[in-house]
Amino acid sequence: MKKRTVRQLSDDELRDKRVLVRADLNVPLDDHCEVTDDTRIRASIPTLRYLLERGARPIVLSHLGRPKGKPDPKYSLQPVAKRLGELMGMKVGFVETTDTDEAMKCSNSISTGEVLVLENTRFLGGEETNDPRLGRALSALGDVFVNDAFGAAHRAHASTAGVCEYIRPAVAGLLMERELDYLGRALASPAHPFVSILGGSKISGKIDVIAQLLPKVDAMLIGGAMACTFFRAMGLETGTSLVEEDRIGMARELLDSAGTRIILPHDALVAPSVERPDVAHAVARNAIPAGEAMLDIGPRTAESYSRAIAAAKTVIWNGPMGVFETPPFDKGTLAIAHAMAEVTKRGAVTIVGGGDSAAAVAQAGLADSVSHVSTGGGASLEFLEGKALPGVEALDDGEAE
């Protein structure tokens, strides 16, 4: 069921209204509480501007980090509110509390044209337990609820799902809508050939994604350490590579059932360890030396995967091809990012999901060259697994457009 979005609210439903916006401003901070990556802050701006243009009064809720249900200055949203103000070129107010009388007063006194950010929702004990009392208290801060926090939608928390019990309308923001559209369309009606690329360190976290995507895709290209668990299932030696011994049987079953759709690397970039990039070298997949680990896909694989991507109409990528944090083990991942950018120019729909994969694409400077980079790591994985997201389910159902 499609969800109602902020674009389906009438101007009367927004003008002068206090609009409670659940955003995902969960950004990394350094030791001095400076924002080190403002991608998620930027991504929240279109919805806020949309609301301001219609004379609404946005009041923003978000979590940040894992403060365990009590205030912790390390995780204050204050620096985030400041950066949001700089990026929007306007004054953004900040209130140090969320559900208290002070927040209530501030939410009532905010005037049209202002944005107010409230303190970290995870400073409140009832947030992660989805305490109905907190959901109700939060709902009192607004007249309308907009959930734009796709990255937090897989959690049934007070500020994502619980609050919706007490406030209507409750609709999706522009970012949430975009995320659901891209991922939803790719799963429901992908243009073929549909190619997925899966990598990362562990097969165990991605089994459900593999199971969900495998019947839909024309090819599933495997990279990352995950490939080594498949190699072992084929009877190959993998040296000191990261292998999940207890998943080898499952990998074998997947290979048996998938036919030729699961594609594994032909070659590997190996080294004694990540600390020895100077002696990295490529070997065939059946020649991984006993004392060395596969730390990236090899050059031949990068080339053949790039060709498969070039022929695709829909591409979903989750999980880096190697230890991309340390060159030269970033080569395979960069090759995939470039192939995605190229095929996007030719009209394919290309989607990147997963925190590390998104970071890799940004590192390559190609975040704007693919169709969509999902801002939600865990949430996009759960969506790709076919699971319902509680933060989305709780919103109003939409009319067909």
How far apart, in whole angstroms, are the C-alpha atoms of residue 309 and residue 31? 40
Task: List the catalytic residue out of 65, 85, 205, 355.
Answer: 355
**Residue 50: enclosing H or E segment and its boundaries?**
helix 39-53
- By CB under 5 A, the residues from 298 to 357 that bind Mg ion are 355-356
Burial (Cβ within 10 Å: 0-12, 13-18, ≥19) of residue 207: middle
Task: List the catalytic residue out of 40, 57, 285, 331.
Answer: 40
Beta carbons of 277 and 302 less than 8 angstroms apart: no
Beta carbons of 27 and 40 less than 8 angstroms apart: yes
Stretch that binds ligand ADP, among 9-17, 244-252, 319-327, 391-399 (CB under 6 A): 319-327
From Mg ion, ligand ADP, none, which one binds at residue 19 (CB under 5 to 8 Å depending on kind)? none
Pairing assessment for the beta strands 144-147 and 92-95 based on DSSP bridges:
unpaired
Burial (Cβ within 10 Å: 0-12, 13-18, ≥19) of residue 153: buried
- How far is residue 50 CA from its own chain's centroid? 23
Task: List the catalytic residue out of 4, 42, 202, 216.
Answer: 202
Distance of closest approach, residue 192 Cβ to ligand ADP, in angstroms: 24
- Of 296, 165, 272, 282, whose CA–CA distance to 223 is shortest? 296
Residue 356 touches ligand ADP, criterion: CB under 6 A: yes
From Mg ion, ligand ADP, none, which one binds at residue 318 (CB under 5 to 8 Å depending on kind)? ligand ADP
- How far is residue 130 CA from its own chain's centroid? 22
17 is an active site residue: no
Residues 353-382, one symbol each (x = binds Mg ion by CB under 5 A, - = not), give --xx--------------------------
DSSP assignment of 77-122 equals: SHHHHHHHHHHHTS-EEEES-SSSHHHHHHHHHPPTT-EEEE--GG
> Which of 135/322 has CB closer to Mg ion?
322
Q: Which of 93, 328, 355, 398 binds ligand ADP (CB under 6 A)?
A: 355
Distance of closest approach, residue 204 Cβ to ligand ADP, in angstroms: 10
> Which of 14/280 has CB closer to ligand ADP?
280
223 is an active site residue: no
- Of 275, 298, 25, 333, whose CA–CA distance to 149 is shortest? 25
Q: Rounded to 5 degrees, what are φ and ψ at 276? A: -115, 55
Residue 165 touches ligand ADP, criterion: CB under 6 A: no
355 is an active site residue: yes
Q: Decide: helix, strand or coil at residue 244.
A: coil
Distance of closest approach, residue 356 Cβ to Mg ion, in angstroms: 4
Q: Which of 78, 201, 304, 363 binds ligand ADP (CB under 6 A)?
A: 201
> Which of 114/325 has CB closer to ligand ADP?
325
Q: Rounded to 5 degrees, what are φ and ψ at 73? A: -55, -25
126 is an active site residue: no
DSSP assignment of 321-341 equals: SS-TTSTTTTHHHHHHHHHHH
Which structure tokens are listed for 368?
């704007």
From Mg ion, ligand ADP, none, which one binds at residue 224 (CB under 5 to 8 Å depending on kind)? ligand ADP
From ligand ADP, Mg ion, none, which one binds at residue 225 (CB under 5 to 8 Å depending on kind)? ligand ADP
Q: Which of 162, 190, 239, 320 binds ligand ADP (CB under 6 A)?
A: 320
Stretch that binds ligand ADP, among 129-137, 281-289, 318-326, 366-374 (CB under 6 A): 318-326
- By CB under 5 A, the residues from 78 to 137 that bind Mg ion are none
The residues binding ligand ADP (CB under 6 A) are: 199-201, 224-225, 242, 294-295, 318-320, 322-323, 325, 354-357, 377
Catalytic residues: 40, 202, 355, 378
